Amino acid sequence: MSTSFHWLDVELIGELLAEHHPGRDPMRTGFVELKRLVTGLPGFREEPGHPVNEKILEHIQKFWIEAREDLRSNEDD
């Protein structure tokens, strides 16, 4: 795996957000804050020609919710 990732790696970003921010509720995180959280993840790099937009942030939020649920179900096992 590459040591860096960018906006189009939405599934990976969702997983990393779930790991790095386990106590934060993705449904209560606005897009401005979500963008700040993503850019603060270790290894995140913006790539020219791939700017973030609302649709990308929606996908990231969806994968963050799924990853958070997966982590919680693994804790229950």
Kindly write down the DSSP assignment for every residue of 16-47, as one continuous string.
HHHHH-TTS-GGG--HHHHHHHHHTSTTB---
pLDDT of residue 73: 85
Residues facing 5 on adjacent strands: 44
pLDDT digits (tens, 9 = 90+) for 10-62: 999 999 999 999 999 999 999 999 999 999 999 999 988 888 999 999 999 99
What count of other Cβ atoms lies within 10 Å of the Cβ of residue 8?
13
Confidence of residue 77 (pLDDT cuts 50, 70, 90): low
Q: Where do the domains of the chain lie, and which CATH numbers do they carry?
A: 10-76 (1.10.10.600)
pTM for the whole structure: 0.89
